[in-house]
Amino acid sequence: MMDDDTELVVSSSDQKMDDDASTQNPAAPRADPPSSDDSGESDSDSEDEAESNQQIQTLESDLSANPYNYDAYVQYIKLLRKTANLEKLRQAREAMSAIFPLSPSLWLEWARDEASLASSENVPEVVMLYERGLSDYQSVSLWCDYLSFMLEFDPSVRGYPSEGISKMRSLFERAIPAAGFHVTEGNRIWEGYREFEQGVLATIDEADLEERNKQIQRIRSIFHRHLSVPLENLSSTLNAYKAWELEQGIDLDIGSDDLSKVSHQVAAANKKAQQMYSERAHLEEHISNKDLSDTEKFQEFMNYIKFEKTSGDPTRVQAIYERAVAEYPVSSDLWIDYTMYLDKTLKVGKAITHAYSRATRSCPWTGDLWARYLLALERGSASEKEIYAIFEKSLQCTFSSFEEYLDLYLTRVDGLRRRMLSTRMVEALDYSLIKETFQQASDYLTPHMQNTDSLLHLHAYWANLELNIGKDLAGARGVWDSFLKKSGGMLAAWHAYIDMEVHLGHIKEARSIFRRCYTRKFDGTGSEDICKGWLRFEREHGDLEGFDLAVQKVMPRLEELQLIRLQQESTPVKPSAGLKEHNSQKSAGEKRKAEPNVEEESLAKRQKRKGQKEVDIGGQSATVPNTKNVKAENGKTADSNNEEMEDAKPLKPKIYTDECTAFISNLSVKAQEEDIRKFFGDDGGVDSIRILHHKDTGKPRGLAYADFVDDEHLAAAIAKNRKMFFGKKISIARSNPKKGKKEFTRRGNDGSGNSKEPSLISEKAKAPLGGEMEGERQGNEVEVRGKNTFTVPRNVKPLGYTTPKPSADETPKSNDEFRNMFLKK
């Protein structure tokens, strides 16, 4: 019989249901006609019922729109029990259990409701319901209810027939490893087992001493097993055992903890169990602490599991895992940890596949669990039909990333390949299964994972199996051709296709693939790499004709790519949109604000500007002070005051003029600055070396600039052009000034008879800056105004024109001479 603490919610002792009242609440008593005293209570009940019906309709709409709403199902079932709608209640429970594993409390509630209506005819249906509940979670309360139901309602057990006794013993032996090791509740299973066996003893004739002694020994064995398990209140169990032995005529000193009269084996086992319980008492206290948060309690469970693993008893480890998953059924990390432990300890068996089945029902959104489930089925030699069913079921789930779907497809292909090649495989499999799986994976994943390494590896695997298992070269080429149509920008895909042909010895086909892709644009240095790869391929595998063809095709392409690189480097960085907008907001009035005062500019300011010169820094003009003959405030010249100002001068960026600079290309990415210096020699006159790197990756680009102290050392460096350096012939050439710079010479007398040094004036310096130069055309007259009053002729020349060198006697015109030329009428 069921204990008081497991009494059914819906009692069978309530009124029996009529045939036409199947939708009424079985727990509801027959209603008497309302009296005037309880009319108010009836009105209140009607209002509650109307409100409940309205909530039920709302939940039905919600579940129709989203059948995966777990909380809505729980609330829906609760309201249906309240309104006694039995048929809808059963349908709702079945619908929910088809999608979700129900919690132990939901199974217990459902089983008790159905058990309250049980009769000898529908006992198998209720038994199946209990079994379904226990397949989801191992609950002590559910096991106790199940055992009590069998003893009370199963006709084959009632009265203790031999068949019924064997049936119940088998059921109790199942319950012990599933729930009998529960430290705080496991006593209920053991006590129920003993009570059942004592009931069997009571049915044996006292004259049949042999049979009674066998039964007494069976009960004694259950006591001994119980005393060896670390459970709560073992001292009470020991006293119960002594009392029972006293009934059999054996005095074991009841009322004391003395084990001297107990067999040595039982005493040792009980002492060890007491010690094991003491070691676990604090862990039990922690996981039963109601003040802990879910996260803290979960961590306490994990600590408990770790402790049991160190003890080395797989049964106890499984028991604590079962308690944990019952408490946290939707923790994917917990299920993964549990199943991994089973894979490691049990290797194969129904227990493992059953655990994976429960795990994937509890956490269907975890692709790793499904993939491991397929592997467990393969280890257990499951049939192709069973494995395929699980694979198809997994694809119906929603995962957090497409990588999880890819892992499932690959796991499926792995299993098919292994079983096809296995000599122990009884079931014959056709290669078409692998091909269909690959095709399905490609069709589904390509739109979402295009141009990814993962998708590339999938197709490489596919092409490899087409060759090795399918024995279909055309099929393997078709895999690569189809992939390159959608992901032709992946350099690695072209290399993989070429490597396959080279490995097969198909030189002509590999060369054809090079010709298809060498003009394509790839990321980074991919375009250069594929060109160099073609040359390397012809050198290692091709003939002279093929090598000549590759050189003819590749070298112009490499030069074109090199030119593009240089143009990209010389392109100045464009100002940001915000800066442009800020500059454009300056009004014309602001630009002209200083113009009326230009002609009235003080002599001191003009002299100060004359003491400045312009230099070109990276294509941008900059004005720096000329320290020659500039008087300081204390009367000293800047030259005489240099030592005093040495510490006060700020550091200036180095200016590269390309006057004695060599441009180095085809440089090995392994070459360092020190290696390049050694290449030119210790006395090579190298001033500095600049190795160019990719902006995105920071890797060397195979290009560098080398600055030399003079033209003589630069010429010596250029003489080493096409020399071998780090296994490659490097190119060395004089670096020309960047385009857009205009060079001209300004000479004049500084008062000491020395001519001024030539300077480079950038185009930007010639343009008007903030109104500093302005020309107003009136007919054929030009009025030149502003600070910079010299005029630079346009540097536009016809094709083939070369600038003649000035003769030795010709003196370039000064700024004042240019100004006078244009001011003449």
pLDDT at 770 over 60: no
pLDDT tens digits for range 162-185: 999 999 999 999 999 889 999 999
pLDDT tens digits for range 232-246: 999 899 989 988 988
pLDDT at 509 over 90: yes
pLDDT at 82 over 50: yes
pLDDT tens digits for range 209-232: 999 999 999 999 999 999 999 999
Q: Determine the Cα–Cα distance for residues 463 and 446; give it in Å rounded to an integer.
A: 16
- The tokens describing 156, both together, are 């084959």
pLDDT-derived band at 652, boundaries 50, 70, 90:
very low
Q: What is the predicted pLDDT for the residue at 569?
A: 80
Averaged pLDDT, 761-781:
40
Averaged pLDDT, 439-462:
95
Q: What is the predicted pLDDT for the residue at 819?
A: 58
Q: What DSSP element (H or E) covers 546?
A: helix 544-570
Q: What is the predicted pLDDT for the residue at 367?
A: 95
Q: What is the predicted pLDDT for the residue at 424?
A: 75
pLDDT at 478 over 60: yes
Averaged pLDDT, 683-702:
84
Q: Determine the Cα–Cα distance for residues 278 and 281; give it in Å rounded to an integer.
A: 5
Q: What is the predicted pLDDT for the residue at 477?
A: 96
Q: Determine the Cα–Cα distance for residues 589 and 604; give it in Å rounded to an integer.
A: 26
Q: What is the predicted pLDDT for the residue at 32?
A: 42
- The tokens describing 755, both together, are 């001519």
Averaged pLDDT, 319-342:
93
Q: What is the predicted pLDDT for the residue at 679?
A: 87
Q: Determine the Cα–Cα distance for residues 647 and 571; give it in Å rounded to an integer.
A: 36
Averaged pLDDT, 320-329:
92
Q: What is the predicted pLDDT for the residue at 66?
A: 86
pLDDT-derived band at 815, boundaries 50, 70, 90:
low
Neighbouring C-beta atoms of residue 93, cutoff 10 Å: 23
Average per-residue pLDDT for the chain: 78
pLDDT at 404 over 70: yes
Angle between helix axes 234-247 and 264-287 (nearest 10 degrees) is 150
More confident residue, 68 or 288: 288
Averaged pLDDT, 643-671:
65
pLDDT tens digits for range 558-586: 998 988 888 888 766 555 554 444 454 44
What pTM does this model have? 0.61
pLDDT at 13 over 90: no
pLDDT at 316 over 70: yes
Between the alpha carbon of residue 480 and those of residues 433, 498, 639, the distances in Å are 20, 10, 73
More confident residue, 468 or 784: 468
**Do 694 and 524 meet the contact criterion of CB atoms below 8 Å apart?**
yes
Q: Determine the Cα–Cα distance for residues 102 and 137; give it in Å rounded to an integer.
A: 9
pLDDT at 441 over 90: yes
Q: What is the predicted pLDDT for the residue at 499?
A: 96
Strands 686-693 and 741-744: unpaired
pLDDT-derived band at 26, boundaries 50, 70, 90:
very low
Beta bridge partners of 481: none
Q: What is the predicted pLDDT for the residue at 255?
A: 67
pLDDT at 776 over 60: no
Helices then strands, counting H and E runs in the chain, come out as 33, 12
pLDDT tens digits for range 365-402: 999 999 999 999 999 989 999 999 999 999 999 899 99
